[in-house]
Structure 1
Amino acid sequence: MLRKHTYSTMHPCVSLFLLCNIAYVRAIQCARTQDEWNKASASLKCQEPTYYHCLRDENGIMTQKCLERVWIQNGMCPEFNSRVDRIDVFQCQSDKNVCPNTIFWSNAVYIYPICYDKTIPTTTINSSAILLTSTETQVP
């Protein structure tokens, strides 16, 4: 006879498994030279019409994928949008003269390492600025 177990908290073995998975996650470091880019591209084995891309996603996580390349306008950087599985762009922000100054293919982003350094803006909410009120009216 099989017994059905119900756990009010996560099973210890599942917890251990999750901890082990987290311990072995390796951060992706995108290539910064054409030679490094070519080696990484060869390992992913992309085939036309897709090309090797190593891009930061909207959450700041680096990802390597085979994607169709797109033109990126000057002053912009490519970014992988994981929600729609496509390349988006963001405005390059730097005090130095290191942002893209010409259009380029998205798969050549290694030319502009500043594009890997995007910081994710954080939004803070001032709790005193939010006031929720409720009013009740009596309908005759």
Structure 2
Amino acid sequence: MFSNTASCPGNRNDWENQDQHWNCSKTNKVYHCLFDNNGNLGEICLRGPPAQVQKNFCPQYNQVARDVTTVLCDKSAGCPNKSFSSNEVYKYPVCLQGIYTDTTESQRPSTIRKARWHSIKTEMVE
């Protein structure tokens, strides 16, 4: 279950501590702390391997698909410069600062269409 939080761990050690706190590893799940598609920052244990996130994208938890999707990083600096696993998002703090800080609610749908959602299993396009 996605649980809202005020902040995410900022380094590997803190990330592993949260993983232990959530008992994700003990249940064969992977700890994640990331934004969801509604703009909420939260923590969750997810089944399966972490998502592979492409360069210039950030991971995001999609509440409808109940899976990690990715969205184009819209920041001017600090975007991921190489592919990475979704559970290593702490390496790219810009992805934990919110994806839509420069857009209004009415602009979000076109931004999502432009970025195109990428799911591990299938590609979802609005």
**1:65–1:27 Cα change, 3 Å:** closer
Number of the residue aligned with 2:45: 66
Gaps of at least 5 residues in structure 1 are 1-25, 125-140
Higher strand share: 2
Number of the residue aligned with 1:88: 69
Deviation of 1:50 (Å): 2.2
Q: Identity percentage over the alignment? A: 29
Number of the residue aligned with 2:10: 32
* TM-score, normalisation: structure 2: 0.70
Q: What stretches of structure 1 move > 6 A for 4+ residues in a row? A: none
* TM-score, normalisation: structure 1: 0.64
User: Among 48, 57, 66, which residue is 1:76 paired with?
Assistant: 57
8 Å Cα contact 2:29/2:45 also seen in 1: yes
Larger RCO, structures 1/2 (Cα 8 Å, 6+ apart): 2
Gaps of at least 5 residues in structure 2 are 108-126
Superposition RMSD on alpha carbons, in Å?
1.8
In the alignment, the residues of structure 1 paired with residue 8 and residue 20 of structure 2 have an alpha-carbon distance, to the nearest angstrom, of 14
Count of residues paired in the alignment: 98
3-state SS in 2 of match to 1:66: strand
Q: Deviations over 1:62-91 (max 9, x none)?
A: 121111311101110000001121001010
